[in-house]
A and B are shown apart, each in its own frame.
Chain A
């Protein structure tokens, strides 16, 4: 089989690893949490980032500032919160991308590779915007009966607790770090492989 076709097929299949590895990780450090709490964000669910029960423990701490419950297994079962729609939509998007990628690979046309790259990039951008949006909602839509209500020294408004999409932010006693996790690296690798497929295919065209 042609090298570019293999690259295209293999590159798109890599996205299946998103069903195994988390996309993003939020880490919370505080004086009381020298071993940091971790929140892994997968395309289908949330999971403990560092130690057993991290997600539930983060959810428990969130109630002090009136943050909405996370869609943990227990909370969903209790009916406190509905799971994110994204946990259904994103897996479908991923599967569609994989299927298209494999088909495009077999067809082996350069334009299709480019199209696929475009689709992946678009999904990524939409995904990041959606992620930001959720962080905004969680950070701002706080329970008015929250236990800890702190106003911003400068603005005099109620403090918001929006975690960073990327990087570091101090939130009360917590140092919050938010960085891409294994899943995103695989998306990157997938992107690179398909770009290579595109380049290889261009060279072939030149040779012919």
Chain B
């Protein structure tokens, strides 16, 4: 015992002799003294902005407040969420259906908010899934995923899901070229045989419902990111691409050889006209279209079978390639729609193209050959200028309303503020570490709300308390209202945040739904009052039509269930009060709990395997009597003749009145 104590004393002494590693770091002490005040949102006060950060490989979408960096909610989108039962209960399972069957996980990337007249309107957030190409639409009234559409003929849905300035379209692109249609062929025959797809998904202006209007069958390059034209360039869409070498292996070397790759400029308005004239053709394919119905609280999955395909040669004058050095990643359009910024991730410079020059180059036919029939415009004829050596590894650019751009530099781990017209660097600030995307609320629109800038880092290393080999992902908040950028706050994020979208809180907070009206509940298995609750046997299926209200289930005693039965709990939350969800968990059920919002109905399946009396309970602390919100199911042996019996307080619900 003594020796341990002595050892500890020595150990403490040794530790205290070491210079504290953090004290030598200027970065952490560099905050101006007023930074704390700028991010402090007093208890009970609201944040100024909502920020929607992609959950990356969590597959979800996280909702934060700015400037506090507080996490409010994680909206389940592409991955099952046992906390709410999303993708586990019978109503939401169809949301995760694809042409490959049910997929429990996704890789979410780039949220973008719907727009009207070039300004974000706060109706929906769209977000893409990279692995099994899909786009989801999330309501900003309910903060729930309302629709997921799969993108056929696509792989690595990365240059997605950006919205045009009147939410006419949301787009999808392919990071991987693939054989279209898929077939058995040697990988080494990639060049010239693999193809890529750029998909234009029409958004219904009333309902938000998506349908794939057309798909461009592009050469087999890798389409990385995209942004819509706006203002003067509205009607065009710009896609960056790499691997114009068409390498199929060791891309880190083989796809980095060309001095210039491209940004594709796609005139979708012109393509619409061509399609009206009948250009393009129908192709057979398969893709899932999953739609949530807010009246029945149930999703349906439909397998679509056709798609309209347009080849670039069918639509002359609609697609051009803008040479851009080297392997451009981000492809960003400034709020005026004039400047198209190519973030050549292997270049030491930023390429700025001019929309006006591009139009003139097209009129002058200033071509420099073609790629698979798509005209390549002369670099000099479209290029506005180059920002020389601003940093290393530019990835993405966002904009303020004062003509400035903010670019993330992954390799040199910094944000650089520069003036687009002058092509001059104004300010730079290190970030911790290796920033990917950055976000200014309203960033992809004519009207950025340019008070804050959020940078989304790929690496955190020593920025937070260590948590084993896997440490948190992180965002950093800057004040960009002055000439110099001021770092205000670090905050951890879920998954790996790719892009994000932000919106002033006052644009959506008052529209946020509080409850679902019971009278509007059209779920076929809903009960509207305790008197309607019942248990019915249909062969070996037992259907429990149950209600929940503070603080009991009705019925809460159920008998007559047998081993081998399939028990369906159709549960309706009868509450009509704000923030009173109830949960439901059944011992031994091979699924997650269900969290049921006021006025909603959800269904859980339980297949009891053992004889006994098994409890269920409410999982969400709903009231002072939450612990009492529980019940029992009696399970009899297979073949037993225990009759179905269901009671609440030893009476059959609804019986006295009949």
**Residues of A with Cβ closer than 8 Å to B?**
35, 51-53, 56-57, 60, 64, 74, 78-79, 147-148
Partner of A74, one of B529, B577, B624, B657: B529
Cβ contacts under 8 Å, A53 to chain B: 515, 576-577
Q: Closest Cβ of chain A: how far from B267's Cβ, in Å?
A: 49
In this complex, what residue of B is CB-closest to A34?
B44
Interface string of B628-648 (1 = CB under 8 A from A): 000000000000000000000
Q: Which residues of A contact B515 (CB under 8 A)?
A: 52-53
Q: A56 contacts B576, CB within 8 Å? A: yes
B549 contacts the other chain (CB 8 A): yes
**B625→A147 contact, CB < 8 A:** yes
Which 8 pairs of residues, A with B, have the shortest CB-CB distance?
A53-B576, A57-B577, A56-B576, A60-B550, A79-B657, A147-B625, A53-B577, A57-B576
Query: Is A52 in contact with B625, judged by CB distance below 8 angstroms?
Result: no
Q: How far is the CB of B27 from chain A (nearest CB, A)?
A: 40
State whether B576 touches A52 (Cβ < 8 A): yes
Q: Which residue of A lies closest to B518 (CB)?
A: A53
User: Using an 8 Å CB-CB cutoff, how does the interface string of B499-518 with A read, 1 for contact, 0 for none?
Assistant: 00000000000000001010
Complex interface residues of chain B between 611 and 627 (CB less than 8 A to chain A): 624-625
B71 within 8 A of A: no
Set of chain B residues within 8 Å of A78, measured between Cβ atoms = 529, 531, 657
Supposing A74-B529, A79-B657 touch, asked if A64 and B576 sit within 8 A by C-beta, the answer is no
Residues of B close to A79: CB separation below 8 A: 657
* A35 proximity list for chain B (CB < 8 A): 578
User: In the complex the two chains form, what is the Cα distance from A74 to B578 in whole Å?
Assistant: 19
With both beta carbons as reference points, the residue of chain B lying nearest to A54 in the complex is identified as B577
Q: Mark B33-48, 1 if CB is under 8 A from A, else 0.
A: 0000000000000000
| Distance in Å: Cβ of B101 to nearest Cβ of chain A | 41
Task: Return chain A residues, CB-CB under 8 Å to B578.
Answer: 35, 51
Between-chain CB contacts (< 8 Å), 14 pairs: A52-B517, A52-B576, A53-B515, A53-B576, A57-B577, A60-B577, A64-B624, A64-B625, A74-B529, A78-B529, A78-B657, A79-B657, A147-B625, A148-B624
- The minimal Cβ–Cβ distance linking B197 to chain A, given in whole angstroms, is 47
Contact partners of A64 in chain B: CB under 8 A: 624-625
In the complex, residue of chain B having the shortest beta-carbon distance to the beta carbon of A60: B550
Chain B contacts with A in 570-591, Cβ cutoff 8 A: 576-578
A56 to B578, CA, bound (A): 13
Q: A79-B657, A147-B625 are in contact. List 4 more A-B contacts (CB 8 A).
A: A35-B578, A56-B576, A60-B550, A64-B625
Q: How far is the CB of A63 from chain B (nearest CB, A)?
A: 9
Q: In chain B, residues 67-122, which have Cβ atoms closer than 8 Å to a Cβ of chain A? A: none
Q: Decide: A60 and B625 in contact? CB cutoff 8 A.
A: no
Complexed CA–CA distance, A53 and B577 (Å): 7
Could you tell me the distance between the alpha carbons of A56 and B576 in the complex, rounded to whole angstroms?
8
| Central interface residue in B515, B529, B577, B624, by most chain A CB within 10 Å | B577
Q: Which residues of B contact A51 (CB under 8 A)?
A: 578
Closest chain-A Cβ to B581's Cβ sits at a distance in Å of 14
Interface centre among A35, A52, A53, A147 (most CB of B within 10 A): A53
Shortest distance between the CB of A175 and any CB in chain B (Å):
17
Min Cβ gap A34→B in Å is: 9
Shortest CB-to-CB span from A50 to chain B, Å, is: 11
Which residues of the partner chain A approach B517 to less than 8 Å between Cβ atoms?
A: 52
Look across to chain A and name the residue whose beta carbon is closest to the beta carbon of B576: A53
Closest chain B CB from A35 CB (angstroms): 8
A57 to B549, CA, bound (A): 11
Within 8 A of A (CB), among B644-658: 657
CA distance A53 to B529 in the complex (A): 15
Distance from B580 Cβ to chain A, minimum over Cβ atoms (Å): 9
B625 — which chain A residues lie within 8 A by C-beta? 64, 147
Q: Mark contacts of B391-433 with chain A using CB atoms, 8 A cut-off: 1 yes-contact digit, 0 otherwise.
A: 0000000000000000000000000000000000000000000
**In whole Å, how far is B320's beta carbon from the nearest beta carbon of chain A?**
55
Chain B stretch 533-562: residues in CB contact (< 8 A) with chain A: 549-550
- How far does the alpha carbon of A53 sit from the alpha carbon of B599 in the complex, in Å? 12
With both beta carbons as reference points, the residue of chain A lying nearest to B599 in the complex is identified as: A53
Give complex CA distance A143, B217 in Å.
74
Contact of A60 among B529, B549, B624, B657 (CB under 8 A): B549
In whole angstroms, what is the CA distance A53 to B550 when docked?
15
- A residues less than 8 Å from B576 (CB atoms): 52-53, 56-57
| Distance between Cα atoms of A52 and B516 in the complex (Å) | 11
* Shortest distance between the CB of A176 and any CB in chain B (Å): 18
**Closest A residue by C-beta to B531:** A78
A56 to B625, CA, bound (A): 19
Task: For B528, give the chain A residue with the smallest CB separation.
Answer: A74
* CB closest chain-A residue, reference B44: A34
Residues of B within 8 Å of A60, CB to CB, are 549-550, 577
B600 to chain A, nearest CB (A): 15
List the A side residues contacting B549 at CB < 8 Å.
Answer: 60
Residues of A contacting B531 in the complex (Cβ-Cβ under 8 angstroms): 78
Chain B residue at minimum C-beta to C-beta distance from A63: B550
Rounded to whole angstroms, the CA-CA distance of A64 and B626 in the bound complex is 13
The smallest C-beta distance from A98 to any residue of chain B, in angstroms, reads 35
